[in-house]
Amino acid sequence: MDEWELIAKCQEDEPEAFEQLVKPYLAMAYRTAYLIIHDKHLAQDAVQEGLIEAYQHIDRLDPKRGVAFRNWLYRIITFRALNLVRKQKPVVEYEELIPEEALTPLDNVIQREEQQQIWQAIRSMKAEHRAVIILYYYEGFSVSEIAKITGSFEGTVKSRMHKARKLIAQQLDKDCIPSDFLREGAMTHD
């Protein structure tokens, strides 16, 4: 049964079809929410609330509009995750470095020094920048898809990506790890 058939069944009030529909995306959606929020319980809340919202509004999906279910679901969950971050605490700018002792055991799964610095930079940047980096590099969404998921212009997505990569490069440079981000110039469009 293809996705649109499952969606049609959901629209006919068949809850089993909804479970079948979302199951392939649940693990990645949760991991994405976790990467954005960096809190397991809040990430669980974001996904759980997102599931309820998706179920309530499944009638909005229409094959004529050509919106992929995955993108629609991610849009809902990403919004939830970003809102939870905003409520959680004031935005922490990258310059305010998180001290080493603030690293959680999960952070320690990264053994390589370079990747540790990258993750530290990502978790320290503004949630809007972090979300773009996660959706692009971890989820593999295109810039235009990220623009739709986050409700931004493509130019804004590019600009956030540029800023985020610059922050990562600065973190690497600070630790004397050579980076090619700055050398290559990259994007300036917004």
Partner 1 sequence: MTNEERQIREALTKVAEAVEIPEFQMPGKDSSSQVARLPFFRQKKWKSIAIASAVVVTLLTSMQVSPSFAAYVQSIFEQYGGGLQQAARQGFSESPNLSVTDQGLTLEVKEVIADPVQVTAALVIKQSDGKVLNSELLLGENSHLNEIELLDGNGEVMSSGWGASFDKTVGFIGFTLGRKEQEPIPKTLSIHFKEIGGTKGSWKLQVPITMAKTAAATTELPVNQTHTTKQGLKLTVHKLINTPTTTRIQLETQWTDSAKKQIEQEARKLAGKTAAPDYAPFVPYQQYSLTYHYEAADGSKREAEKLEFANSIDRYGHFRWIWDYDPLEKGKPVTLVIDSLYRAEPYDMSVTFNPAELSK
Site for partner 1 in 137-176 (CB under 8 A): 137-138, 142-144, 147-148, 151-156, 158, 165, 168-169, 172
Supply the minimum distance, in Å, between the C-beta of residue 79 and partner 1. 5
- In the set 3, 25, 31, 173, which binds partner 1 (CB under 8 A)? 31
Is 89 one of the binding residues for partner 1 (CB under 8 A)? no
**E-state strands within 29-101:** none
Q: Contact, 68 vs 21, CB < 8 A?
A: no
Is 8 one of the binding residues for partner 1 (CB under 8 A)? no
Is 88 one of the binding residues for partner 1 (CB under 8 A)? no
- In the set 97, 107, 170, 173, which binds partner 1 (CB under 8 A)? 107
- In the set 3, 8, 25, 26, which binds partner 1 (CB under 8 A)? 26
- In the set 37, 42, 81, 118, which binds partner 1 (CB under 8 A)? 118
Q: What is the CA angle 56-78-72, rounded to 5?
A: 50
- Please report, as residue ranges, which positions from 49 to 78 form the binding site for partner 1 (by CB under 8 A): 51-52, 55-60, 62, 64-65, 67, 75-76
Q: Contact, 146 vs 160, CB < 8 A?
A: no
Cα–Cα nearest to 156, from 174, 142, 143, 173? 143
- In the set 34, 46, 131, 166, which binds partner 1 (CB under 8 A)? 34
Who's near 106: CB < 8 A, 6+ residues apart? none
Supply the minimum distance, in Å, between the C-beta of residue 173 and partner 1. 11
Q: Contact, 37 vs 46, CB < 8 A?
A: yes
Return the SS3 of 163: helix
Is 101 one of the binding residues for partner 1 (CB under 8 A)? no
Question: Residue 57 has what DSSP assignment?
Answer: T
DSSP 89-129: SPPPPTTSPPPGGG--GGGGG--SHHHHHHHHHHHHS-HHH
- In the set 7, 9, 18, 163, which binds partner 1 (CB under 8 A)? 18
